[in-house]
Chain A
Amino acid sequence: MISTIKKILIILLLGISASLAQSDEVKVRVDGLSCPFCAYGLEKKLNELDGVDSIFIDFEEGLVVMQVTDSENISEEEIRVKIEEAGFTPKEIVFSGKNEKPDKDD
């Protein structure tokens, strides 16, 4: 009986921790990304957004992928403003993860 309770508790804890650890992903297509070192400003600007854990930039695809703790705290408009402030042109933004938002094209 005690053993069964322990197993249930472990399963519950694992489920809770997995849920807490899950981060959202935000994919942004950015035009004008033509040189890696001039994208440093873009990375800095996007890191100013709340809850950004990591940023990956794919130059060939003109794609920025952000891992965020909670995409509910970041609006599409905020992301567009930051990208424009960095000197680039934001295009499609796609939210995915536990707080998925509808896709929106330009």
Chain B
Amino acid sequence: MDTLIILLLKMKSIKIITFLFLILVFKAATSEKVFAQGPPIFTDSPLLLGLEGGGIRTFGKYISTESGKSYIQPLVIPYNVTTDFQIGGIQPYVFRSPDNGESQSGFGNFTLFGKYSIIQIDGKAKTFRALLKYTQTFTTGASNVSVNANASQFSIVTGYVTINYGIYGTLGYTFVSNDLPDNLIYNFAFGYPILPQKYPPFQLNIFIELNGIHTLDVNKHLLFVSPGLQLITSSTFLIETGVQIPVIDDRNTTKFAYTLGIRFLFF
């Protein structure tokens, strides 16, 4: 089954991306009044507002690799301390099913994060924002499903969001303990609304994202192209899905990753 999906993805990834871009171009050429898209699916957002800020998030991520399959279910809980400062925690639950071995499951490593907004340039129906993000991952997870190393990541998250589209970018560096190699991460996202919108919102958005990680020391690169679809049904709830297709995979490990998730506001 996985082989078929991978084959379809590999063969059709270029076609899918071309198709999505054609939708964008067609939409741009024919659009009347549309409003902006929601937060990207695989890339951070610098907006600490609404679902992009205090939205509790959970999603299921199915990852198919050369050595087996994994399913990860993280719960992300952010809290806006002030307008400019957010803290939060991420607790994943991991199922791992290696091709040659028994299935295992358990809690993964816990991560704390903090975001501090450093730039906010607002204009009429548009905004440019940037923030600094720090994440600290602890070795709290079950040893059979977690990496036995602490990780500290520093990143800068930027975004330019207008009522017609959004462009997001992240650049970060991760220090990893236990003599494991550090890594450099970069993410880019472009979001566009498909439906004409109203307030309170009802939005259907498409995203095209690039998610890359370069592992230092061993000098290996992994780059995903990640198309996604997002449905926002109200000011307090959204559902989103996306697939990550590796276009550069020096280690030839990941076949694809599929995500289906929700975000909702409690506060």
Residues of chain B lying within 8 A (CB to CB) of residue A32: 120, 122-123, 126-127
Q: Is B111 among interface residues, defined by CB-CB distance under 8 A?
A: no
Q: Nearest Cβ in chain B — how far from A54, in angstroms?
A: 13
Contact status of A35 and B83, CB under 8 A, knowing A40-B265, A60-B33, A89-B122: no
| Secondary structure dominating the interface of B | loop
Of all chain B residues, the one with the shortest Cβ separation from A58 is B199
Count chain A residues whose beta carbon lies closer than 8 angstroms to a beta carbon of B. 24
Distance to closest chain B CB from A1 (angstroms): 56
Measured between beta carbons, the chain A residues less than 8 angstroms from B200 are 36-37, 40
A residues whose Cβ falls under 8 Å from a Cβ of B: 29, 31-41, 43, 57, 59-62, 84-89
Find chain A residues with CB under 8 A from B253 CB: none
Known: A41-B50, A59-B163. A34 touches B126 (CB 8 A): yes
Q: Please tell me if the beta carbons of A37 and B38 are within 8 angstroms of each other in the complex.
A: yes
A88 to B120, CA, bound (A): 9
Contact assessment for B124 and A38 in the assembled complex, using a CB-CB cutoff below 8 Å: no
Q: Which residues of chain A are within 8 angstroms of B232 by Cβ–Cβ distance? A: 37
Known A57-B199, A89-B122; judge A35-B53 contact (CB<8 A): no
- Across the interface, name the chain A residue whose C-beta is closest to B47: A38
Interface centre among A31, A57, A85 (most CB of B within 10 A): A31
Give the distance in Å from the alpha carbon of A29 to the alpha carbon of B123 in the complex: 10
Question: Contacts A59-B163, A88-B122, A89-B122 hold; do A36 and B49 have CB atoms under 8 A apart?
Answer: no
